[in-house]
Amino acid sequence: MPNTANVRLPMLSQKIYKEWLAETVLVQSCDNSFEGEFDIANREIDIPVYHDLSIHQTTIKEHELKPAPIEFVRTSTKRVTIDKGRYSHWGETNIGKLINKLTANTGEIRTRLVKKWALAADIELAIFCAKLPKKQEIDLITYLADSANNPHGELTPENVVKALDILKAHVTAKNMTVSDFKLFASERFEGILRDAKIVLGSNLDANEAFRKGFVAYANGVDVRKHEIAEVTTRDPNTKLVEAEWAIWKTRDGIQYVVPYKNTVQYDISPSEVLLGGKGYQSLEYYDFFNLYPGRLYKVKIRYTQGFNPPAL
């Protein structure tokens, strides 16, 4: 007879992963694919590389085709080293009880863990984006500044369309497709769009509305709302967002992989728990990579004079 409890533990981790991922805004917008099996000894995994395919042009004239130059197909995966982990201890030393608590769909413990992990993962990723180098920055404060009408470069309902045009132009100028990009910003950006009375939902796909964080398609830009305070500067009294780092990215702009997820047992010494015992913890090894710098930008936005996005 197999020990079913031991099989249920890693199953729980798979369940938790799926649940916390669905709760995120930023992380679930990243490419999470990997190939093969995680090499746990060396912490290595292969992630797909989306190199550009070449298009060869030719003329068809009396069956005369120009021979294409020999093209060496580059490898389609890149080996990366996973360097991050997250884990939570469970306050239960009885495996049977632990499984019952965690597998129950109404289980409060799992729900709370899922929300915490989702938020922690989004915060970490947002901070990473806000720390991107200057060359991956689109400074809307400078671009929107107008000595006569808007000397401090604030984003307002009047210039939000221009701001979105600037973002799109950065993409088009590099021969990329605007529809691949999404803008992740705070609730203040959503308020600006609402005040500007921009037609919302004109391109609405039925599925999008149910996706976490979806705000609207505004001026052809897919806008998502996050709740990450760390990349915003807030008014000390009202707590309203006055400046922020927004994120303008494609799915493959960040490759976020979680190649190992498990719930494991560990020994608890008698000094910690009477007579000692076994403790349980859920853990994940993960990491994220920006292999295509041209497909990930941080966007510097000011809503109120005198405020700047946080220095991280």
Partner 1 sequence: MNDKDLFKDLLDLEDDFDEDDNEGENLEEEEEKAEESKDEKESAGESEEEKRRKEEEQRRKNKNAEEARKRREREAKRKKEEAKINEIGRQIEECKKKYPNLDIAALDKDENFKKFIDGKLLGKKNFTELYEDYIKLRGSLSAKSEEEVMQDYLLKSRASGGTYIAGGSGGGGRPADIYSPEELARLEERIPFMSVSEYDRIAEKLEKSLAFYEKKR
**Closer Cβ to partner 1, 216 or 257, answer by number:** 257
**Closer Cβ to partner 1, 168 or 212, answer by number:** 212
The region, left, alpha or beta by phi > 0 then psi within -120 to 50, assigned to residue 278 is beta
Sole window of 10-18, 73-81, 119-127, 227-235 interacting with partner 1 (rule: CB under 8 A): 10-18
Rule CB under 8 A: say whether 76 interacts with partner 1: no
- Pull the structure tokens for residue 291: 């292999």
Could you count the other beta carbons within 10 Å of the beta carbon of residue 234? 17
Q: What is the pairing mode between strands 182-185 and 221-225?
A: parallel
Q: Which of 14, 76, 94, 265 binds partner 1 (CB under 8 A)?
A: 14
Rule CB under 8 A: say whether 127 interacts with partner 1: no
- Pull the structure tokens for residue 279: 């403790």
Rule CB under 8 A: say whether 41 interacts with partner 1: no
Site string for partner 1, 198-227 (x = CB under 8 A): ------------------------------
**Closer Cβ to partner 1, 21 or 231, answer by number:** 21
Among the listed residues 204, 299, 173, 282, the one whose alpha carbon sits nearest the alpha carbon of residue 248: 299
Cα–chain center distance at 297: 13
Write down the least CB distance from residue 103 to partner 1, Å. 10
**Closer Cβ to partner 1, 93 or 262, answer by number:** 262
**Distance (Å, rounded) from C-alpha 128 to C-alpha 254?**
10
Question: Do 257 and 287 form a contact (C-beta atoms < 8 A)?
Answer: yes
**Closer Cβ to partner 1, 5 or 199, answer by number:** 5
Write down the least CB distance from residue 32 to partner 1, Å. 8
The region, left, alpha or beta by phi > 0 then psi within -120 to 50, assigned to residue 57 is beta
Q: Which of 11, 123, 132, 240 binds partner 1 (CB under 8 A)?
A: 11
Interface with partner 1 (CB under 8 A), residue total 22
233-292 residues near partner 1, rule: CB under 8 A: 259-262
Rule CB under 8 A: say whether 8 interacts with partner 1: yes
Angle at 124 between CA 121 and CA 128, to 5 degrees: 140
Question: Do 34 and 257 form a contact (C-beta atoms < 8 A)?
Answer: yes
- Pull the structure tokens for residue 285: 């090894």
Kindly give the residue spans of alpha helices, DSSP state H, lying in the chain. 4-23, 95-103, 108-130, 140-144, 160-172, 187-195
DSSP letters of 237-262?
A: TT--EEEEEEEEE-GGGSEEEEEEEE
**Distance (Å, rounded) from C-alpha 312 to C-alpha 130?**
7
Sole window of 2-10, 148-156, 233-241, 289-297 interacting with partner 1 (rule: CB under 8 A): 2-10
Site string for partner 1, 78-107 (x = CB under 8 A): ------------------------------
Rule CB under 8 A: say whether 37 interacts with partner 1: yes
Write down the least CB distance from residue 263 to partner 1, Å. 9
Tell me which residues touch partner 1 (CB under 8 A).
1-2, 4, 6-8, 10-11, 13-14, 17-18, 32-34, 37-38, 40, 259-262
